[in-house]
Structure 1
Amino acid sequence: MREYTVPVLVDVPASANCADTVFTRGEQEPAAVVISRKSGDAWVPVTAAEFRDQVAGVAKGLIDAGVGPGDRVALMSRTRYEWTVADYAIWAAGAVGVPIYETSSADQVDWILADSGATCVIVESEAHEEVVRQATAAMAEPPSIWRIDDGGFARLTAGGADVPEETLKERRLARGGPELATLIYTSGTTGRPKGCRLTHDNLLFTAHNVARGPLEALFEVDGRAALLFLPLAHSFARLIQIVLIETGTVLAHTPNMKNVAPDLQAFKPTFLLGVPRVFEKVYNAAEQKASAGGGLKSKIFHRAAAVAIEWSKAESSGGAGAGLRLKRALYDRLVYSKLRAATGGRLNAAVSGGSALGERLGNFFRGAGIEVFEGWGLTETSAPSTVNIPGANKIGTVGKPFPGVTIGVADDGEVLVKGRHVFAGYWNNDEATAEAIDSSGWFHTGDVGELDQDGYLRITGRKKELIVTAAGKNVAPAPLEDRIRAHPLVSQAMVVGDDRPFVAALVTLDPEAMEQWKAANGRTGASLAELCADPAVVAAVQSAVDDANTLVSKAEQVKKFVIIDTDFTEESGHLTPSLKVKRNLVVRDFGKEIDALYSVDTRA
């Protein structure tokens, strides 16, 4: 087995609690701005003292309401300021946070609340409260509910007014590193979600070794600020929230993905967290806008994209020559500067996780002046295990282990992990824990990958998602899907072929991109079903498939595809909140379309 270890950089004390920094900074730097809270169209600064007082008020309210040490408190909300207040208040009260995606169904909420044994739930809206009440209707003792949008925090704070400061301090200090901090339920692409037990040490060890290690340069920038828009119920965004609080980086929230563009321009972050689909949409939107502007603008954009990629690749292999630097400077004025201006003008770095970003996008954004550092990990590893490094960003990989982590690749290609960031096991599921962590302490991730001689990891697929055709050929679907999905008109792609004579794909169209396409191609009144059969659209998707097929051998290539006249979305139940396709549900719901691909075997 091939292994690579990076030594520990920051040894977090065993007594540390995730809420400690909120209280120490509130005392030592009371006037420091730690959060920027959106109020209408304005961004209102929140000082360390104000944040501490609000966290303390809600924490005392939880204590007064009967929340005890180690009790589970569920939190169901969009990404907003109050989420962060509630998260830290739960820790300050000595309790355990149980995040729930705000799009979860009543059945999913029922499972999480029942399995975790949550005694109370903080929800954002009336709609969320209704889902929780529906989910808990049959419970003998349903949990208490506080609603943020109905003055829930004010009532909690008022109720806890008589709780002494000393009681709050005792609660917080009694929960140290080994104690459970949160139960994060896996997104459940197959089967029931499992609750991952993450301790205070898991989270703080990870946050400090990432922020003081590979990404230190991002948190030494004057006026550093970050905009969070990914769901804070996801382990990746949650860990970044902790990193931002621990490093004193000004944190802002965007509850609605539709507001990301204007909020970027108004808030002007220096740092951004995203998933590959976000960066794909940024690129595709810029490309579509250029194409709508006519032939010259389209040519300029595509030439600028090619130069950005060429420059980035040159920088990775000795540096760009004078001619290429001049070209980049020209397109910086014409294209790249406008792209950066659209993000507020101060953004120069971003971190991407969740799935593969792809070399094309990674090189484009670096060439355009926004370097994206790709990382990798799972909920069970407190989110990250590896990440690329400023000054040593190897695009196409997910980086090196962060300090204190060992990565191994088993003989069958499975990626294994060791370190203090690895979770304490699954809640109420010792059997699953024993399957995940072997007797030598290795966590088996289920991902398949390769380690190069410098310790950089490349993820090539999921062990359980490998497709085995009827001819016995093993096919990793992710690289094919990532490349097909990169096309501006494509929203989602899922490769199929298990026990079938050849590899095929289901493809969906991007609704926003198709609106622009219809206007540009005189098809304004066309329905989505009509567009799926439009020869020009089919040809565009075929070009995306042809491009993807250049990545693999002939036996692994996509031979046929079908364009589905609906999208795979989180709302439809076909995507997880982190935008991963739930393959089993797609196969179930689109079985007829899959069967039709193989009904006449003309391309086997």
Structure 2
Amino acid sequence: MSLLLEALRQRAQHLPERLALKDSEQHITYAELPRHIAEKAAQLQSSQCRVIAIQLDNSADWVLWDLATVAAGVVCVPLPAFFTQQQRDHVIHSAGIDHIVTAEGLVASGLTQTVDLLPGTTKITFTSGTTGTPKGVCLSQQGLEQVAQSLVEVIGAEHAADHLAILPLAILLENVAGVYSALLAGATCHLYSLASIGMGNPFQPDFRQLVQSLVQHRISSAILVPELLRGLTYTLMQTGVKLPDLKFLAVGGSKVAPKLLWQAQTVGLPVYEGYGLSECASVVALNTPTSVLDGTVGKVLPHIEISCVDGEILIHNPAFLGYLGASHRGVFATGDLGYLDDDGFLHLLGRKKNLLITAFGRNVSPEWVESTLLGQPEIAQAVVFGDAQPYLTALLVPSSPLADLNAAVQRSNERLPDYARLQVFHPIAPLRLTDGTLTGTGRPRREAIAQQYHHLLCEGK
């Protein structure tokens, strides 16, 4: 029995008139929700679906189809809009997707060949990671719901009265940490098309439109990645708009510069940094209103057990069953460097595989230096290199054509020890998902970037 579906049945009895899902066309109460789920589940069963992909814009229908797969015992594969056609084809074939939900409804994919999935798989989330070929992470419903339940426990249901899905629902962070948690808390999920809230182009958002949506719908909770937090913060600085209804704003997906968090807090944003992995069904640790420590990603969720060995964070009970074609049991090595302090807060230091060892034998996490650089308002994006080199080099994207990068680098260097300071930097064009230099969550693809800017990084060698 699904914990989430059972909770929704109880909500239907105790909070029948409260809105559960709301978009520009549908307003669905908790009393109506089970019927809508059952109708779509019946469609899945009558079509003899085994594995479906959801290829929709954010909407109430996206969530209804997702919940219907749970009710019908069908495997769900969220399909991100930012995947290329080649990546979509790879997902369809590798997961054995036989039906796809599009704006036209439930349609056959044309694929007749089945794929043996890991037992217990209810959702497969594909992450492009550090290569162009998406990798399928197989998750159980229990694992997904455990994360959502823990988030409600540590955050408190009172902060989720009205949740706005700003990230695509195909992203696990929004799907599970956002919607599932909000529904377990009895909140209203606002699920408007991404274009209507200013997120039609996620890499060139209309932040004024996003602010207007937050104000208009009196949103109390949302989830952002760091670059969206940066844009929202600067828009509030410029406009002077306040968001008094906003009670909880989670930020994750990649490292957040401490200065950005401070700037967000100065304009009244109740922002809390967290850390997660697809293999752990989104969130691993999170700062909360009752337990927060700046410079950390918060305390580990109550259902998760971790340890740190040789500086690497290990998860002893990850939510995932394995990758497509390869089961997983036991401890999961995250590849992230960090440690737990005496009070239980998790500190992140960077990626193990990204660790730079300079020609002087000093270990430097590039994320550490990049975080300091991104704390300077003149710098929008930064990627640091220097493995086996006597000094560090950075590729910097200025925040404006008039940005003084020299002054920004100087201030950044003042906060770093000698061995971690930049000696060389090069201004470059913005890094984008479309040119293969960013992942879907905004992390830099270091190998692709190094290849593209090889001529700059080799200067002086």
The two structures have a TM-score, normalised by structure 1, of 0.69
Q: For residue 226 of structure 1, what is the aligned residue in structure 2?
A: 163
Q: Tell me by how many angstroms 1:407 deviates.
A: 2.1
- How far apart are 1:367 and its partner, in Å? 4.6
Rounded to whole Å, the distance in 1 between the matches of 2:435 and 2:57 is 18
Query: 1:160-190 deviations in whole A, cap 9, x for unaligned?
Result: xxxxxxxxxxxxxxxxxx8322011123223
CA distance in 1, matches of 2:32, 2:436: 39
Which residue identity is paired with 1:25? R
Q: What is the correspondence of 1:149-168 to structure 2 with a 5 Å cutoff?
A: none
Are positions 1:181 and 2:122 aligned together? Answer: yes
**C-alpha distance in structure 1 between counterparts of 2:364 and 2:295, whole Å:** 19
User: How far apart are 1:372 and its partner, in Å?
Assistant: 1.5
Secondary structure of 2:21's aligned partner? strand
CA offset digits 1:450-507 (Å, max 9, x no partner): 2111111110100011122233322111122223234344332111112333110111
Q: Contact 1:18–1:91 (CA<8 Å) still a contact in 2?
A: no
- 2:203 counterpart residue number: none
- 8 Å CA contact 1:203, 1:382 repeated in 2: yes
Which residue of structure 2 aligns with residue 5 of structure 1? none
| Residues 510-536 of structure 1 deviation map (CA, whole Å, 9 limit, x = unaligned) | 4xxx3xxxxxxxxxxxxxxxx4xxxx5
Contact 2:96 2:111 in 1 (8 A): no
Q: Distance in 2 between matches of 1:125 and 1:591?
A: 45
- 2:2–2:142 Cα contact (<8 Å) kept: yes
In the other structure, the counterpart of 1:482 is 371
Alignment of 1:6-405 (within 5 A): 15-16=1-2, 18-26=4-12, 29-39=15-25, 45-67=27-49, 71-124=50-103, 141=112, 179-190=120-131, 192-212=133-153, 214-216=154-156, 219-221=157-159, 224-239=161-176, 240-254=178-192, 255-256=194-195, 257=199, 258=206, 259-287=209-237, 289=238, 338-339=240-241, 341=242, 343=243, 345-405=244-304
- Residue aligning to 1:551: 415
1:244 deviates by: 0.8
Distance change >3 Å, CA 473–CA 78, structure 1 → 2: farther
CA distance 1:262–1:369, shift in 2 (3 Å): closer
Aligned residues: 444
Aligned to 1:306: none
8 Å CA contact 2:137–2:323 kept in 1: the answer is yes
Instruction: Tell me which residue corresponds to 1:445.
Output: 334
Contact 1:96 1:181 in 2 (8 A): yes
State the match for 1:461 in structure 2.
350
1:398–1:457: 8 Å Cα contact kept in structure 2? Answer: yes
Q: CA deviation at 1:280?
A: 1.5
Residue pair 2:166, 2:222 contacting (<8 A) in 1 also: no
Name which of structure 1's ranges 484-493 and 348-357 shifts more when overlaid on structure 2.
484-493
Matched residue type, 1:581: P
Deviations 1:32-64 (A, max 9, x none): 21122224xxxx632123333332222211211
- The code of the aligned residue for 1:272 comes to A
What is the DSSP-based 3-state SS (H/G/I as helix, E as strand, rest coil) of the residue aligned with 1:101? coil
Question: Which residue of the partner structure matches residue 326 of structure 2?
Answer: 429
Distance 2:369 2:104 in 1: 40
Give 1:368 deviation, angstroms.
4.2
Query: Of the two, which has the highest radius of gyration?
Result: 1
Compute the displacement of 1:252 (Å).
Answer: 0.6
Alpha-carbon distance, 1:553 to partner: 1.8
Tell me how far 1:118 sits from its aligned partner.
1.0
**Which TM-score applies when normalising by structure 2?**
0.89
Q: Which has a greater percent of strand?
A: 2
Partner letter of residue 347 of structure 2? R
RMSD of aligned Cα (Å): 2.6
1:112 to 1:142, Cα distance in 2 relative to 1, 3 A: same
2:445 aligns with 582
> Cα–Cα, structure 1 residues 268 and 102, in superposed 2: closer, same or farther, change >3 Å?
same
| Per-residue deviation, 1:445 | 0.7
Higher helix share: 1
